[in-house]
């Protein structure tokens, strides 16, 4: 909503209010100021009166004007075609400096002397009021030849753009904004009084009739007028340009101006196009459904109330007989109906959907007063009306309740004053209690907290003293808090082993997930309105996003790219799970003197070590996951506490190639699987233990995992630990390999004797022989 200072001034006296105060007040009452522009008109631009205007002897498109500029007569050559229609104009005299540092100097145009310039609006830094020079009239104030244009407050105006919240339809008019200001600044509104000049003594009923059918949820008032000649004043053009309202033609401008001023929705029809066979204007509003009211003229649709208007019967500057309509429709029912029916809406819908001004009489009177003063339009007496009985909302307001909501006492007298200024009707209900009748234009106000909001914004939130909340102690640690802390811990560990935290959209590209063999959300549960093809589904893995980030970093010349992300992924039924995913691409560490600037590339062992530093102890077993990112021979299931919780793998070389990235390793783990669990300590032996190595020859294809299974199955109480320390292969061994395992043997009860150790090692060897076909090396 755009307003101007002088326009507001027609309803509220702002002469003693500075622009700074206005800015501050608007912001503090919830009408956020988007921009505030003071129009500065250069000095030495004055009102001039054209005495004569003749064609330039040597140029078709130029006119030579003799203009009285107060201090004397000037000869000025003017190129604008419309100068021939002008009497009063804005003249930039010699020495004036116009925007763009354009200095007006004495000039000769095609041999004719010119002492100044007749100005168009844009040449003075005003909004564009249309083609040609500005033709001034008394609408801007008394025209005094020679008076500086900058002294006209309606021209050197302040334009204020307000950002209105969705509930404030009542401020979509100059009048509405003025009313809010009146409450905030405690300045009385200027009364608007209108007495119709009855040019036609005939009543409207002689020419027109109104009947309605269906259940009406709209008020409609009609007036009839005849037009001899329509003109439009300069101020209307200027102000519409200032507030950015476009209207084609003089009549449309007038209607737009009246609507912007009063907030009442006004439309005009050429009633000759729908006079019926009896030559009567028959208007017939029909309620099609709740919220949709068609206005028929001689059974042809003229408009849908609050929604749109048919072009055919719309009045224009050629129209001779005018049916003017003011309307109000309940925005709640209207908005619902429009959503359901998807009716085409016009510019006025923004106002009607947020609640236009229901004071139709005011709107029509304002328009009539414009017509009286500016045009040869004659209105018929009276109007035809459809009015709906609307119940006014009444809110019981207890000053104590207001105080407890705001946290500060506000006197009931103050409450009453504020509400009255805002258009509420107040009835006393006893000590400190009132009944506030809500005006129709504030359809957003329904209960005591809405009233509190009005009080709060008028007294100013910044005037409320902040008070800490006092509450009863109660522990509030819960699972979510614990989980949040665990997450933070894991993240910090990842950072400690060089990973950067990544955040990416939880979206992915369905085709890409399909291609790499990840699950996708069931078609029937899929996103209905994705924002882009590459974000058209919920992700089922974070890895694809991470690989895209790797690719970007490669293009930024990064050589070592360790990233992790913790976040949501979704299953085919759209179930949400939390995973932690790692990628490591390129060099295993930075280039430095230790590695002579040639660090190794990341490998399975280094990557596993880093992931382990984050998630803690785990086991690796051959991979059972199946997706296109996994390398079939360098991949594993990660097992924590006996449960598979994810996979770790080298990135499949074809994927690596298609992303155009160096050697890369990936891991994705279910976060819930390694949330910290409770641990009980086991007793530690007081006796010395021994380390023993055993080298065996086994099949090349046999994984250590199979060996470990055999060792675990033995359940030897003295075998405390076993781990592989060497693998050896050569031609002599053929399809066999040598594996060295280190054992730690210790007893809880005694110091070990050689025979004890031999027994344990013997059992181990025996088991490996039978289960793994192992031979001593």
| Residues from 28 through 67 that contact another protein (CB under 8 A) | 28-30, 32
Does 372 interact with another protein (rule: CB under 8 A)? no
Does 462 interact with another protein (rule: CB under 8 A)? yes
Give the shortest CB-395-to-another protein separation in angstroms. Answer: 12
Does 567 interact with another protein (rule: CB under 8 A)? yes
Q: How far apart are CA 365 and CA 403, in angstroms?
A: 41
Inter-CA distances, 582 with 22, 105, 498, 579, 669, Å: 56, 73, 11, 10, 9
Query: 350-369: which residues touch another protein (CB under 8 A)?
Result: 353-354
Query: 318-347: which residues touch another protein (CB under 8 A)?
Result: 332, 335-336, 339
Is the Cβ of residue 73 or residue 558 nearer to another protein in the bound state?
558
Among 192, 507, 604, 744, the residue binding another protein under the rule CB under 8 A is: 507
Q: Residue 220, class by beta-carbon neighbours within 10 Å (0-12 exposed, 13-18 middle, 19+ buried)?
A: buried
Among 488, 515, 769, 773, the residue binding another protein under the rule CB under 8 A is: 488
Does 563 interact with another protein (rule: CB under 8 A)? yes
Q: Residue 776, class by beta-carbon neighbours within 10 Å (0-12 exposed, 13-18 middle, 19+ buried)?
A: exposed
Q: How far apart are CA 473 and CA 457, in angstroms?
A: 33
> Applying CB under 8 A, what is the total number of residues that bind another protein?
100
Q: How far apart are CA 273 and CA 75, in angstroms?
A: 50
Is the Cβ of residue 404 or residue 572 nearer to another protein in the bound state?
404
Q: How far apart are CA 311 and CA 548, in angstroms?
A: 53
Stretch binding another protein (CB under 8 A), from 94-102, 241-249, 269-277, 464-472: 464-472
Give the shortest CB-549-to-another protein separation in angstroms. Answer: 3
Among 100, 191, 468, 597, the residue binding another protein under the rule CB under 8 A is: 468
Among 562, 615, 736, 760, the residue binding another protein under the rule CB under 8 A is: 562
Is the Cβ of residue 33 or residue 702 nearer to another protein in the bound state?
33
Is the Cβ–Cβ distance between 146 and 69 less than 8 Å?
Answer: yes
- Phi/psi at 555 (nearest 5 deg)? -70, -20
Q: Which two tokens stand for residue 288?
A: 């099609």
Give the shortest CB-71-to-another protein separation in angstroms. Answer: 39
Is the Cβ of residue 577 or residue 626 nearer to another protein in the bound state?
577
Among 81, 289, 429, 568, the residue binding another protein under the rule CB under 8 A is: 568
Is the Cβ of residue 501 or residue 672 nearer to another protein in the bound state?
501
Is the Cβ of residue 529 or residue 682 nearer to another protein in the bound state?
529
Residues ≥6 apart with Cβ < 8 Å to 16: none
Stretch binding another protein (CB under 8 A), from 503-511, 633-641, 742-750, 759-767: 503-511
Whole-angstrom distance between the N-terminal and C-terminal Cα of the chain?
Answer: 90
Helix (H, G, I), strand (E, B) or coil at 411: coil
Query: 11-30: which residues touch another protein (CB under 8 A)?
Result: 27-30
Does 98 interact with another protein (rule: CB under 8 A)? no
Give the shortest CB-774-to-another protein separation in angstroms. Answer: 40
Give the shortest CB-126-to-another protein separation in angstroms. Answer: 22
Is the Cβ of residue 110 or residue 400 nearer to another protein in the bound state?
400
Length of the chain: 777
Q: Residue 285, class by beta-carbon neighbours within 10 Å (0-12 exposed, 13-18 middle, 19+ buried)?
A: buried
Query: 517-546: which residues touch another protein (CB under 8 A)?
Result: 523-532, 535, 538, 545-546
Which residues are 636's β-sheet partners? 622, 648
Query: 150-169: which residues touch another protein (CB under 8 A)?
Result: 165-168
Q: Which two tokens stand for residue 286?
A: 């029909």
Give the shortest CB-354-to-another protein separation in angstroms. Answer: 6
- Using CA atoms in the order 378, 379, 381, 383, what is the torsion angle rounded to 10 degrees? 170
Is the Cβ–Cβ distance between 140 and 148 less than 8 Å?
Answer: no
Q: How far apart are CA 303 and CA 311, in angstroms?
A: 9
Does 496 interact with another protein (rule: CB under 8 A)? yes
Which residues are 716's β-sheet partners? none
Give the shortest CB-541-to-another protein separation in angstroms. Answer: 15
Is the Cβ of residue 81 or residue 531 nearer to another protein in the bound state?
531
- Phi/psi at 604 (nearest 5 deg)? -55, -45
Residues ≥6 apart with Cβ < 8 Å to 202: 380, 381
Query: 398-417: which residues touch another protein (CB under 8 A)?
Result: 401, 404-408
Does 476 interact with another protein (rule: CB under 8 A)? yes
As a three-state string, the secondary structure of 220-276 is EEEEEEEEEECCCCHHHHHHHHHCCCCCCCHHHHHHHHHHHHHCCEEEEEEHHHHEC
Does 605 interact with another protein (rule: CB under 8 A)? no
Does 570 interact with another protein (rule: CB under 8 A)? yes
Is the Cβ of residue 97 or residue 535 nearer to another protein in the bound state?
535
Q: Which of 364, 319, 134, 308 is nearest to 234 (CA)?
A: 134
Among 467, 598, 678, 732, the residue binding another protein under the rule CB under 8 A is: 467
Stretch binding another protein (CB under 8 A), from 56-64, 72-80, 313-321, 481-489: 481-489
Does 464 interact with another protein (rule: CB under 8 A)? yes
Stretch binding another protein (CB under 8 A), from 92-100, 455-463, 697-705, 741-749: 455-463
Is the Cβ of residue 447 or residue 700 nearer to another protein in the bound state?
447
Query: 373-402: which residues touch another protein (CB under 8 A)?
Result: 401
Residues ≥6 apart with Cβ < 8 Å to 665: 582, 583, 584, 585, 602, 603, 604, 607, 648, 649, 650, 651
Helix (H) or strand (E) holding 406: helix 399-406
Query: 572-601: which residues touch another protein (CB under 8 A)?
Result: 574, 576, 589-590, 592-594
Is the Cβ–Cβ distance between 89 and 119 less than 8 Å?
Answer: yes
């Amino acid at each position: 909503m755009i307003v101007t200072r002088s326009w507001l001034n027609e309803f509220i006296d702002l002469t003693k209010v500075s622009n700074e105060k206005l800015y501050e007040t608007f912001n503090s009452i919830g009408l956020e100021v988007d921009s505030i522009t003071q129009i500065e008109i250069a000095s030495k631009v004055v009102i001039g009166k054209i005495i004569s205007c003749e064609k330039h002897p040597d140029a078709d498109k130029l006119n030579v004007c003799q203009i009285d500029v107060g201090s004397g007569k000037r000869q000025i050559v003017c190129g604008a075609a419309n100068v021939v229609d002008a009497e009063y104009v804005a003249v930039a005299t010699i020495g004036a400096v116009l925007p763009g540092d354009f200095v007006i100097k004495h000039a000769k145009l095609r041999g004719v002397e010119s002492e100044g310039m007749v100005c168009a609006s844009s040449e003075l830094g005003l909004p564009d009021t249309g083609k040609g020079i500005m033709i001034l009239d008394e609408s801007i104030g008394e025209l005094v030849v020679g008076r500086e244009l900058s002294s006209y407050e309606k021209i050197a105006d302040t334009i204020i753009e307000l950002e209105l919240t969705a509930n404030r339809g009542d401020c979509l008019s100059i009048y509405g904004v003025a009313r809010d200001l009146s409450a905030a600044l405690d300045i009385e509104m200027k009364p608007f009084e209108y007495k119709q000049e009855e040019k036609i003594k005939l009543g409207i009923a002689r020419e027109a009739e109104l009947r309605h059918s269906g259940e009406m949820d709209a008020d409609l008032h009609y007036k009839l007028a005849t037009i001899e000649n329509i003109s439009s004043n300069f101020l209307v053009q200027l102000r519409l340009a200032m507030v950015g309202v476009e209207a084609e033609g003089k009549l449309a401008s007038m209607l737009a101006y009246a609507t912007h001023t009063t907030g009442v929705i006004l439309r005009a029809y050429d009633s000759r196009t729908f006079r019926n066979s009896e030559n009567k204007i028959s208007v017939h509003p029909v309620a099609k459904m709740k919220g949709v009211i068609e206005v028929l003229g001689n059974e042809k649709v003229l408009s849908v109330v609050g929604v749109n208007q048919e072009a055919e019967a719309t009045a224009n500057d050629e129209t001779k007989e005018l049916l003017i309509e003011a309307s109000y429709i309940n925005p709640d029912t209207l908005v619902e109906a429009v959503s359901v029916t998807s009716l085409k809406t016009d510019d006025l819908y923004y106002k009607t959907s947020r609640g236009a001004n229901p004071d139709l009489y005011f709107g029509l009177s304002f328009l009539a007063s414009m017509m009286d003063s500016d045009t040869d339009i004659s209105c018929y007496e009276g109007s035809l009306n459809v009015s709906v009985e609307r119940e006014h909302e009444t809110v019981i307001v207890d000053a104590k309740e207001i105080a407890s909501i705001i946290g500060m006492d506000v006197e009931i007298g103050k409450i009453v004053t504020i509400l009255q200024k805002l258009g509420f009707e107040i009835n006393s209900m006893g000590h400190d209690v009132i009944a506030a009748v809500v005006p129709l234009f504030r359809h957003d106000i329904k209960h005591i907290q809405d009233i509190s909001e009005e009080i709060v914004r008028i007294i100013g939130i910044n005037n409320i003293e902040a008070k800490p909340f006092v509450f009863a102690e109660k522990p509030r640690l819960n699972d979510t808090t614990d989980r949040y802390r665990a997450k933070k811990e894991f993240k910090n560990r990842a950072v400690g082993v060089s990973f950067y935290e990544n955040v990416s959209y939880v979206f992915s590209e369905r085709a890409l997930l399909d291609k790499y063999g990840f699950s996708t959300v069931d078609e029937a549960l899929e996103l209905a309105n994705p924002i882009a093809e590459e974000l058209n589904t919920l992700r089922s893995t974070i890895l694809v996003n991470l690989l895209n980030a790797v690719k970007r970093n490669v293009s930024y010349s990064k050589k070592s790219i360790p990233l992790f992300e913790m976040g949501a992924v979704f299953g085919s039924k759209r179930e949400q799970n939390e995973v932690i995913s790692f990628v490591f691409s390129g060099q295993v560490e930075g280039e430095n003197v230790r590695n002579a600037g040639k660090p190794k590339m990341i490998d399975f062992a280094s990557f596993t070590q880093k992931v382990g530093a984050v998630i803690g102890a785990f086991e690796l077993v051959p991979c059972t996951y199946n997706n296109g990112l996994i390398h079939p021979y360098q991949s594993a299931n990660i097992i924590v506490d006996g449960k598979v919780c994810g996979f770790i793998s080298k990135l499949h070389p074809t994927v690596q190639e298609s992303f155009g990235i160096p050697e890369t390793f990936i891991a994705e783990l279910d976060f819930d699987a390694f949330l910290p669990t409770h641990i009980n300590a086991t007793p530690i032996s007081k006796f010395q233990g021994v380390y023993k190595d055993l080298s065996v020859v086994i099949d090349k294809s046999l994984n250590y995992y199979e060996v470990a299974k055999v060792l675990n199955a033995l359940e030897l109480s003295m075998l405390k630990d076993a781990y592989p320390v060497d693998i050896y292969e050569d031609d002599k061994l053929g399809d066999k390999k040598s594996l060295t395992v280190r054992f730690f043997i210790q007893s809880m009860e005694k110091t070990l004797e050689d025979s004890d150790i031999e027994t344990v090692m013997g059992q181990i060897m025996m088991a490996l022989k039978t289960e793994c076909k192992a031979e001593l090396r």
